[in-house]
């Protein structure tokens, strides 16, 4: 039984919800339970009243994520629906809930005459995902501007933690176990709105020119190895345009895999493994995935 007999939560609970409807690659099998909270407080109530033995998966826009065709056991928390408030706490301190898009954070800060968050405009997905993986773009990274974070545990208890409670590295954040981000305070610098807005526009133009925007993709597939670029390595191996099923390496940016229509998660994962094998053989470098692969393989 997922919930106690008394239900005080106000969000929307779905069962056997197809994850392909919620991932940017448009693939992924069903989730046992799929909850859309209306607020952080509502999420806390839901977690207190749900079965604590069920695993949790936190989902934003579903970018940087590959959900296997067999789907997900347990509960998926869909942050997009209700955890989407952003506000100015002090002149240079901005509070952002995890369901706010990274691009919206960039725009809000620019409109508030703050600089330092412009790079977030180039990161697809929600700020919660950027926070979880220390996402970066154009030479900047998310945790450069984090002042503190708000966490929630499996029982719905909330706490505030400092940056010192986390080990942060390139595309990697490790902190207290069985706690999840629900909001963050960002410390920025005073700036000029017009200059920040202009930088946001320039960064978006750069992204649009270099990446396959408008296609079904999950962003950069592999991490850049030290001193090199995954896209360059994939390109020199002649893998642009390589495909398995309907999964295809982008001809515009070699570190993107596109679902050209009807691809399965198994197609995408097989293409990732093929890329790793070819680059390892020809360049002697084992590329590490930047996308997170979760869920069960489809045994049918």
Supply the residues annotated as catalytic. Answer: 171, 220, 290
Joined together, the tokens standing for residue 102 give 């990274």
SS3 category, 258 = strand
Give me the phi and psi of 233, to 5 degrees please. -65, -45
Tell me the Ramachandran region of residue 68: left when phi exceeds 0, alpha when psi lies from -120 to 50, beta otherwise. Answer: beta
Residue pair 204/122 in contact by the 8 Å Cβ criterion: yes
DSSP 157: -
> From CA 33, how far away is CA 35, in angstroms rounded?
7
Residue from 199, 191, 185, 197 nearest 85 by CA: 185
* Paired sense of beta strands 30-36 and 65-67, if any: unpaired
């Amino acid at each position: 039984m997922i919930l106690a007999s008394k239900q005080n939560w106000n969000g929307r609970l779905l069962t056997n919800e197809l994850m392909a409807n919620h991932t940017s690659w448009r693939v992924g099998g069903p989730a046992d339970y799929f909850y859309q909270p209306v607020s952080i407080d509502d999420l806390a109530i839901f977690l207190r009243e749900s079965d604590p033995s069920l695993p949790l998966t936190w989902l934003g826009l579903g970018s940087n994520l590959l959900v296997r065709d067999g789907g997900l056991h347990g509960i998926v928390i869909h942050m997009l629906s209700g955890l989407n408030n952003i506000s100015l706490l002090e002149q240079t301190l901005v509070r952002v809930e995890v369901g706010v898009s990274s691009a919206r954070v960039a725009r809000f800060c620019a409109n508030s005459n703050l600089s330092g968050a412009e790079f977030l405009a180039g990161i697809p997905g929600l700020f919660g995902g950027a926070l979880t993986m220390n996402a970066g773009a154009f030479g900047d990274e998310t945790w450069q501007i984090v002042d503190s974070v708000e966490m929630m545990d499996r029982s719905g208890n909330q706490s505030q933690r400092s940056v010192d409670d986390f080990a942060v590295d390139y595309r990697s954040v490790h902190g207290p176990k069985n706690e999840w981000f629900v909001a963050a305070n960002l410390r920025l610098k005073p700036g000029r709105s017009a200059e920040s807005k202009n930088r946001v526009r320039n960064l978006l133009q750069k992204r649009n020119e270099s990446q396959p925007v408008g296609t079904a993709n999950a962003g950069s597939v592999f991490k850049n190895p030290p001193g090199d670029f995954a896209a360059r390595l994939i390109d020199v191996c002649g893998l642009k345009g390589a495909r398995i099923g309907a999964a295809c390496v982008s001809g515009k940016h070699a570190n993107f895999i596109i679902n050209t229509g009807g691809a399965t998660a198994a197609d995408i994962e097989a293409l990732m493994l093929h890329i790793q094998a070819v680059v390892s053989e020809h360049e002697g470098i084992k590329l590490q995935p930047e996308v997170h692969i979760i869920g069960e393989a489809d045994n049918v």
